[in-house]
Amino acid sequence: MNKKVGIIGCGNMASAIIGGIIQSKLISPENVIVSDRDYAKLELISKKYGIKITKDNTEVANFSDILILAVKPYIHDVILEEIKNNVKSDTVVVTIAAGIDINYIETKLGQTVKVIRTMPNTPALVRQGMSALCANKNVTDKELENVVKIFESFGKVEIIDEKLMDFIPAISGSSPAYVFMFIEALADGGVVSGIPRDKAYKMAAQAVLGAAQMVLETGKHPGELKDMVCTPGGTTIEAVSSLERNNFRGAVIEAVKACNDKAVSMLKK
Ligand SMILES: NC(=O)C1=CN([C@@H]2O[C@H](COP(=O)(O)OP(=O)(O)OC[C@H]3O[C@@H](n4cnc5c(N)ncnc54)[C@H](OP(=O)(O)O)[C@@H]3O)[C@@H](O)[C@H]2O)C=CC1
Ligand SMILES: O=C(O)[C@@H]1CCC=N1
């Protein structure tokens, strides 16, 4: 893709995005720039991918056709104020932050700004991300397609209505954390029985990966896939019955609700 991509903030998510677009050869390194406060962090990523680096966020804004804001939500205020005179009229501004909506960016940068709001997740670091995207009315179909290609370079993408965006962290943005807790607990259970810890993590993680792949590839209802594992009178139904007694599914649904509530309360006006 012959577009210049700039990223402000060089943390976890920026590394995933840069890794995806460079390793997939979607964009050549000389067309990518990233800024951060920490020059040592920038030097590391530049050494790895050969991209441009700077401590000056306005330089990133001046350079970019697609400008990705990859900083924490509470830093957006400062950054938008800093770059507001450097964002070109045809630049597409992309936010990946929870609690930052399209209206907020339009209010800060003007009603004609092209905005794409997204919610990726950390599995993007291993190119197995899940991202939801929505665009404002100023973004053309071609511009949205280009940003979709960037996000597809590190995982799967769904375009959704902005009114659902606050609920995406709970299901895919934040959920890797709950899955890691599940894998850790599963492995701890194995360690209780004497399985070496490294083998327990590998087996638990591969079981989760395989189960997730079955949901995606078979199109079968998760309940049907669960039933396929449960031999009548066998081991699995004992575990399932114990999980139900301990409100496993209820606890997960409550966690999703707590995440949703937090995302809505973070929304900046
Ligand atoms: N982590 C996740 O699972 C997900 C995160 N997100 C969103 O992604 C965004 C970034 O998250 P994540 O990558 O985890 O965060 P990180 O803290 O890893 O990365 C943010 C980077 O921005 C830097 N930074 C802070 N202030 C400035 C500044 N003024 N100018 C330039 N760079 C600055 C930070 O430096 P310093 O460390 O010095 O502060 C840090 O290196 C957040 O808004 C979050 O909501 C979305 C989906 C998933
Ligand atoms: O915890 C957070 O707020 C961010 C958004 C989704 C994942 N991490």
The answer to whether 57 is annotated as binding is yes
- The DSSP result for 21-52, as a single string, is HHHTTSS-GGGEEEE-S-HHHHHHHHHHH--E
- Ligand 2 neighbourhood includes 98 CB (under 6 angstroms): yes
Contact 57, 161 (CB under 8 A): no
Q: How far is CA 152 from CA 19, 44, 97, 157, 243, in A?
A: 12, 24, 18, 6, 35
- Ligand 2 neighbourhood includes 168 CB (under 6 angstroms): no
pLDDT of amino acid 267: 81
Closest ligand relative to 17 C-alpha: 1
Average pLDDT over residues 210-235: 98
CA of 238 to the centre of ligand 2 (A): 34
pLDDT of amino acid 134: 98
CA distance linking residue 68 with residue 76, whole number of Å: 11
pLDDT of amino acid 153: 96
- Ligand 2 neighbourhood includes 175 CB (under 6 angstroms): no
- Ligand 2 neighbourhood includes 120 CB (under 6 angstroms): no
Is the pLDDT score of 247 beyond 90? yes
- Ligand 2 neighbourhood includes 131 CB (under 6 angstroms): no
CA of 94 to the centre of ligand 1 (A): 14
Quote the percentage of the chain above a pLDDT of 90. Answer: 98
Average pLDDT over residues 8-16: 96
Q: What is the largest CA-CA distance in the chain?
A: 68
CA of 238 to the centre of ligand 1 (A): 43
Mean pLDDT across the chain: 97
- The DSSP result for 186-221, as a single string, is HHHHHHHTT--HHHHHHHHHHHHHHHHHHHHHH---
- Ligand 2 neighbourhood includes 173 CB (under 6 angstroms): yes
Average pLDDT over residues 56-84: 96
CA distance linking residue 244 with residue 230, whole number of Å: 14
CA distance linking residue 129 with residue 18, whole number of Å: 13
Burial-class residue 53 by CB neighbours within 10 Å (0-12, 13-18, 19+). buried
CA of 98 to the centre of ligand 2 (A): 6
Q: Relative to the CA of 99, which ligand 1 atom is closest?
A: 45
Closest ligand relative to 71 C-alpha: 1
pLDDT of amino acid 117: 98
Q: Using one digit for the tens of pLDDT, what is the confidence trace for 132-161?
A: 999 999 999 999 999 999 999 999 999 999
Closest ligand relative to 95 C-alpha: 1
The answer to whether 73 is annotated as binding is yes
Average pLDDT over residues 198-205: 98
Quote the percentage of the chain above a pLDDT of 70. Answer: 99
Interface TM-score (ipTM) > 0.90: yes
Is the pLDDT score of 268 beyond 90? no
The answer to whether 71 is annotated as binding is yes
Measured at the CA of 91, the angle between CA 88 and CA 94, to 5 degrees, comes to 130
CA distance linking residue 221 with residue 214, whole number of Å: 10
pLDDT of amino acid 269: 61
User: What domains appear along the chain, each with residue ranges and CATH number?
Assistant: 5-165 (3.40.50.720), 173-266 (1.10.3730.10)
